[in-house]
Every structure is written in C-alpha cells, then in structure tokens.
Amino acid sequence: MSSRALRKAQQRAEEERLAALAAAPPSDNDEDDEEEEEAEMPVAAKKPNLFAMLDAELEEAAEEDEDEQSAEEQAGSKPAAASSKSKKKKNKKKKKGKAKAEDTKESAQTEGDEDFDSLLAQALKSSSISTNPTQATPSTASPTSQLHSLLHIDHRHLDLENEMRKLFGRAATSRESGAEPRQQQPRGQRLPGGRSLLAAGGRRNVFVQPNENWPREGSGGLSMDLVEKNPDDGTVLFKYAHSRVYQDIQRQFNECVRSMDPERMINHLNNFPYHISTLLQTSQIALTHNNDPTSSQALISRALFALGRSSHSVFPTSLASGIARISFLHFENRELYFAGWKYILSLSRRGLWRTGLEFIRLLLQLEPLDDPLCLILVIDQYALKSRVPQLLLDLASTPLLQEKWSNSPNILYSLSLAEFMAGNTTTAKERLSASVKRYPWMLTKLHGSLSVENIGGRSLPEGLWGQLPPSDIDNLLAEMYTLRMGDLWNIPEHARFLMDTIESVRKLDGKGVESGVGSAAYYYIGEKQRDLARHVFLMDQREGRGLIGFLPRGLRDDQGYAWDVLPPMGGESSYQKELEGLAAGGEGGSGIGVGGGNIFEVFLRSLMPSFQAPPPQTQGENNGQRGGEGSFEVDEENLRNTLIEMVEEGVGYPDGMGEQERAQLALNVGLVPRELQAWFGERFGVTVADVPEAQETLAQEEQQEEVVEEEEAEEERERDSRAIDRLVQILGTGDRSTLRIRVDRMFEGQGEEMAEVRRRVEERLGLR
C-alpha cells in the first residue's frame, strides 16, 4: 500500500470522526465540551495520532515475527511531517537505488499488503475510542470491553496545564512551565545540537512533560519490558526493569540510607537526578521537614518523567485503549504506583481534580481488580469534585467491578450524590435511602461534619441515634469519607437533599448491623487489610495522621520506607532484603553490625517523623527471646545467657572479628539493655564509656519515644473529643427532659465500656 493510500485512509477516518462528533447530541460533561472549544489552541495537536498507534502495533508485530519486512513497514507508517522539498532532494540522490530495491521487493510487498491492511484497520478501530469519559458503554459489549472503555486514558487530561488554562487562563500556564527563554538559559544546560529535553526523549512523555530547567541526564538504566499479551482479554502486561548500572545506583542509594548522612543523600540526587527511589525519598523530606510542597511536586514530576521516558513504545497506546497492566508485586513497578499517588496528592492541594482523576484512572487501569492502593476509597472524591459524576456511575455498574464497589460504603453514598449532580433526583433518593439502611453509621459521622445553617438545624431521625461504627475498620472508613467528602455534602443544595431524604427513612432495623451486614470490615481482611493500611500511610499527613490509630498494631508498626510503603506479602525487593541484611548483620566491620537496625531507624526517623519500625530482634529469637533497647520482658537470666552465647559463638558477626570486638560492637549499637551494660562490660572487658555516641543515640531514641507516646495520647484525646462533638450534634437541641430521653435511648444496652462516653456527653449537654 502506497503512502498516498495511507494518507487517504487517515483522511477518511478523520472525516468520519468529525461527522460522528457533529451528529452526536450535546454531552452533559461541560469540561469536555470546553476542551473541544479550544481546538484552535496548540493543545489540539495532542489528539491521538492514528499513525502513532499503527506504528506501535507494527512494532509489536515486529517483535513477534522478527523479520525485516515488518520493520520497514513500521518506518514507512510514521506521520508525513517532512516537507515536500526535502523529499525531492532525497529522491534525487537515491533514485536509482530505490528503483532497484522496489524491483526486488515488489513481490514480497504485494504478499504483505493483506497483513498491512489488517493492521491498519485495527489501528483505525483503536483510534475511534471516544475521549469522552462519560460516554455510555454499549450493552452488547463484553464485561472486559466495558472495563477497558471506562479506564482508557485521555492524554489531554494528564497534562495539568490544560486544566490550569481552563481554570485560570493562559497566563497561568506560562507561570506553571517555569521555563526560561532559550537564550537566557545557562550554557551547559542544553543538549548537543540545541535539542530540548522533550526532543531528547524522542516522543511526548506519557505521564508529565519536562521542565526546561531540569537536568539533562539519561535514564540511568531504567527500562520497561513488554512481558506478554493476554489472548483472552487483550490486555498487555508490562514490567519495569533495572539494568546492572541502575542496580549499582540503587545500592549506592542504600548506602546513603545506611550512612545516616542527609548531605550524602542530596549529593546522590545531584549525581543521579532521575533515580526514582532518591526522588521519592527527597520529595518526602521536602514536604514533611521543609514544608515545601512546590519542591516536593517538582521532584515527583521528575520521577514520573523518568518513568515515562523509560516506558515501552507500545505502553502509551495500551494506556489509551485501557488494556495496560503492571503488576504491583514487583518493586520496580511499585515505584510508578507510589510516584503516581504522590503526584495525585500534589494535584489535589492545588485544586486540579480533573487531572488527578485521570491519574487515578491510570493507576486503576494497571490492576483494576486487585486495586493495591485502594483507589476505590478516593476515586469518588475526585470524580465528583471534577464534576464527572457519570464516570463514577458507569464504573460502579460495570460487571467486573459491580460486586466489589456495591459493598463499599463510600461508593454507595457517593453514587447517590452523583445521581443528584447528574439531575436524577428520584434515583438519587433511592440510592441514599438504601445506603443509609445498610450503613447507618456512615451517616452519623457525615451529619456531624455539616454546618447547622446548611441543614437548617435539623437533627437525625430517632432511628439513627446511637448508630456507631461496629469495628475499628468501619470507624476508619467513616472518618476517611467525612474528611474527603464532607465539604461536598456541606454545599447547601447537597445538604438539603441529604436531610430531606433521610427524613423519609423511618425506623431502621438494627439486626443487620449486629449480624455483620452493616459492616464493611470483612472486606478488608488478609492482603486487603494490608492494602487499606498502605492507603492510610500514603494519605496526606494532615488527614492520615489521625487515622493510623484505627489500624491493627501489627500494621501500624511496619510502614516500610518512603520509596516502598508497606510492600505486599511476598513482594519484598532484593534491595530491601539486602539493605535489612546489611543493617542486621554488619559489613566488613564498618560499624553497622548486629542491631544496626537501631541506628538505621534513627536515620529514617530523621527523614520521616511518622516512621515506626518493629522492635529489633536478637539472634536468640529462635529460642523465644527478644532483645530490647533499654527494656526487656524476658527473664533476665535467659537474656544474659543469650547475649553470652551470641558473642562467644559470633552469630551474625563479620568473619575475623574477635570476641572482645564483638562484645564492644554489641554494646556500641545498643543491643545490650542499659540494666545489663555494667554486667556485660565486666564479663567481656568492655566499657560503655568508650561509646558516648551510642549513649547519646539511646537517649535520643528514648526522648523520641516519649514524644511519640505523647503525640499518640494527644491524637486519642482529640479523636475522642471529635466523637463527643458529633454525638452531641446528633442529639440536637431541646429541653432537659427531651435531651435526657434521647441520651437514654442512645446509650441503652451499650454496656459499662460506654459509661465514660455517656458521662462526657451529659456534661456537654448540661445534664450533670
């Protein structure tokens, strides 16, 4: 097929697409309509390129067939961007050679036309995917196709400048870019030949676009492999890979962590400006320690740019079609999830909800059924705040997600609000009534966050009094939903809809809650509970800090690292195992030996105040003993015997280290409890006086533990106070006798454990 025929095919496809758009009825999605109105802007060049899709398909075929003919067709299918003048010059120079080559290839080209036409038709079909996220899914489509259609990515919405232009005008984008004029940029920051950072990447980045002030460096050995294409559902599995060079950089990063030297970490970032783990760690430092969200977002954007620049050439097309998959189990892949999530949080701080929603769809597309980041708990917030309620309604009704989403309390409540925002008032009331009957404790939390003016001073019906979350997990879900969606429900129009609807809900039957029907806790067990904990750890500290207390203690004490938060069971990376092994076993007498995790924890706490690690274990754990950092619960005699055996046998110590050196090392790193240090020093001939730094470290750890305990106690008091405030608001106002009756009903049958809560409520109401 000639290039002229290809151009005609492209023109026909474009004319059909425009005709379909012209014939389509107006969309309810205002923001998509406004995007179309900006067609005259340069942004219009970002629409999907038919031949880029075809190029990707041909490249995939070339990998499977491994023949030169497909590679030649791939090169010939690129967009015709060169001028006709340059083509003529090229043809004049190689006219004879080309004619001869065409004679020898004519038969092969004829035989390949059929396959080529098939690929072209497939690409044309792919290009017809609508960019409107609210487009109805055909009822005849398979469940898999419906999911792909709803999760496909529109790359226009991944560019925050498009939303900023829409919100603040074109002037905001020039400030956002932060790029200096080319002639004003310092020498040495440009690439050879005057190429920009975008041009050096060879194609537009799939995630974020670069800032011209960013360092001009390569990926450092990060790449993406196409693992397999699933013939059953058409999904394409990708995996990030680390070259040997990148593995060495990652190990250098581990050394920076072990060195306890923040300056060394910064130098590492300067030397390797696109190393993902370093960017994730330093962005956390910038946000939590320096309170610099701008720098934090810049670092996260750079990490996403590096991940996008290293992606496979077929990956963008797969994302646009909703078929890209990346397993969360592999550490190399998880960095994309964490970078994407942190970027979403940074977008929400700036009110860029539509861009954040598109990135949530992107991450959800990678593992839609397992959802390792529990995006189900946040997608409703972004969908409704970006005024795309139909997307939430469609996702909740698609067969592959319907069962799971229909059991999530936040989704059920938000679906009623989505129906109301879409103008379906009757359906909205039905959905809200069903949600209140199933999860009434969600409403009691939500009602407490609404302003008295917006609800007209109305209290909850009597049937909802005393409906408290049946478990800590339910309490967590209710608190999380109120934090995220309370402001949306507090809009006067939405608040009136809420109160008008629940007044029609008569007396509720409490048996459902007692039997577990009204609890969502049993959906978060095993690995899903671990996913929920990861979601809380990744939340903005302003929101998530008060929610950690609802998690089981075993998960609270093992948050992982800033660059790999709470890895899935069985998904620990080789880097993590190596890092923890070095911290626990020592390396060449470098001073970090057995128990070196104590010093390692000090460094991590200096980077992340919220970091909590499990108490270190001694090598005597096999016998049931556990070491301490100044306190111990095992029998003192058994602990002494364990310490003696460990030092004398050299378990876990570097080879060639003498007994006295091993004892001194155990004392230096704080392995020996202070109560036994005098005995231990006399037993092995070592003294604590030789290690003032160790004493200072122990003192700092104790001081920090006291601070953490005080903060946890304060958080618990604040949480209790908020709960009392909500209970008082639920009870409403009235005379003493009316309030007394309501209090008696609320706490009837609650048991002695609620006596203190009742006392405080009565004090607030003036009944004591």
Q: Which residue has the higher pLDDT, 128 or 545?
A: 545
Measured between its terminal Cα atoms, the distance across the chain in Å is 90
Q: Which residue has the higher pLDDT, 35 or 413?
A: 413
Residue 142's φ and ψ, nearest 5 degrees, are -70, 160
Q: What is the pLDDT of residue 528?
A: 93
Q: Is the pLDDT of residue 19 over 80?
A: no
Q: Which residue has the higher pLDDT, 321 or 48?
A: 321
Q: What is the pLDDT of residue 12?
A: 64
Q: What is the pLDDT of residue 663?
A: 84
Q: What is the pLDDT of residue 157?
A: 94
List, for residues 386-420, the tens digit of each pLDDT value: 999 999 999 999 999 998 999 999 999 999 999 99
Q: Which residue has the higher pLDDT, 648 or 130?
A: 648
Yes or no: say if 368 and 144 are a contact pair by the CB < 8 Å rule: no
Q: Is the pLDDT of residue 768 over 80?
A: no
Q: Which residue has the higher pLDDT, 614 or 216?
A: 216
Going by the DSSP 8-state scheme, the letter that residue 352 receives in this structure is: -
Q: Which residue has the higher pLDDT, 426 or 623?
A: 426
Q: Which residue has the higher pLDDT, 678 or 194?
A: 678
Pairing of strands 236-242, 324-326: parallel
Q: Is the pLDDT of residue 158 over 80?
A: yes
Task: Give the model's confidence band at 140: pLDDT under 50 very low, under 70 low, under 90 confident, else very high.
Answer: low
Q: Is 358 exposed, middle or buried (0-12, 13-18, 19+ CB in 10 A)?
A: buried
Average pLDDT, the chain: 73
Q: What is the pLDDT of residue 389?
A: 96
Task: Give the model's confidence band at 249: pLDDT under 50 very low, under 70 low, under 90 confident, else very high.
Answer: very high
Q: What is the pLDDT of residue 658?
A: 82
Lowest mean pLDDT, pick from 116-125, 491-500, 510-519, 562-571: 116-125
Mean pLDDT of 347-360: 95
User: How far apart are alpha carbons 282 and 285 in whole angstroms?
Assistant: 5
Q: What is the pLDDT of residue 212?
A: 87
Q: What is the pLDDT of residue 123?
A: 46
Residues above pLDDT 70, as percent of the chain: 63
Task: Give the model's confidence band at 10: pLDDT under 50 very low, under 70 low, under 90 confident, else very high.
Answer: low
Q: Which residue has the higher pLDDT, 101 or 652?
A: 652
Q: Which residue, 636, 614, 611, 613, is CA-closest to 625?
A: 636
Mean pLDDT of 91-96: 46
Task: Give the model's confidence band at 695: pLDDT under 50 very low, under 70 low, under 90 confident, else very high.
Answer: low
Of 47-56, 73-82, 144-153, 706-715, which one has max mean pLDDT? Answer: 144-153
Yes or no: say if 535 and 377 are a contact pair by the CB < 8 Å rule: yes
Task: Give the model's confidence band at 656: pLDDT under 50 very low, under 70 low, under 90 confident, else very high.
Answer: confident
Going by the DSSP 8-state scheme, the letter that residue 564 receives in this structure is: E
What are the start-end ranges of the H helices in 239-311? 244-259, 262-271, 276-288, 293-309
Q: Is the pLDDT of residue 517 over 70?
A: no
Residue 242's φ and ψ, nearest 5 degrees, are -110, 125
Q: Which residue has the higher pLDDT, 637 or 256?
A: 256
The neighbouring-strand residues paired with 565 are: 560
Mean pLDDT of 746-750: 69
Domain residue limits, the chain: 1-23+46-79+113-128, 143-174+203-370, 374-515+533-544, 545-697, 701-765
Q: What is the pLDDT of residue 708?
A: 79
User: How far apart are alpha carbons 681 and 304 in whole angstroms?
Assistant: 52
List, for residues 263-308, the tens digit of each pLDDT value: 888 899 999 999 999 999 899 888 887 788 889 999 999 999 999 9
Q: Which residue has the higher pLDDT, 211 or 344?
A: 344
Q: Is the pLDDT of residue 696 over 50?
A: yes
Yes or no: say if 490 and 449 are a contact pair by the CB < 8 Å rule: yes
Helix, strand, coil: what percent of the chain each, to 5? 65, 5, 30
Q: Which residue, 411, 408, 415, 444, is CA-closest to 429?
A: 415
Task: Give the model's confidence band at 555: pLDDT under 50 very low, under 70 low, under 90 confident, else very high.
Answer: confident
Q: Is the pLDDT of residue 92 over 50?
A: no
Torsion of CA 337, 340, 346, 352, to 10 degrees: -130
Q: What is the pLDDT of residue 733?
A: 66
Q: Which residue has the higher pLDDT, 714 or 508?
A: 714
Q: Which residue has the higher pLDDT, 614 or 343?
A: 343
Task: Give the model's confidence band at 666: pLDDT under 50 very low, under 70 low, under 90 confident, else very high.
Answer: confident
Q: Is the pLDDT of residue 39 over 60?
A: no
Q: What is the pLDDT of residue 502?
A: 86
Task: Give the model's confidence band at 186: pLDDT under 50 very low, under 70 low, under 90 confident, else very high.
Answer: very low
Mean pLDDT of 361-373: 96
User: How far apart are alpha carbons 286 and 24 in whole angstroms?
Assistant: 48
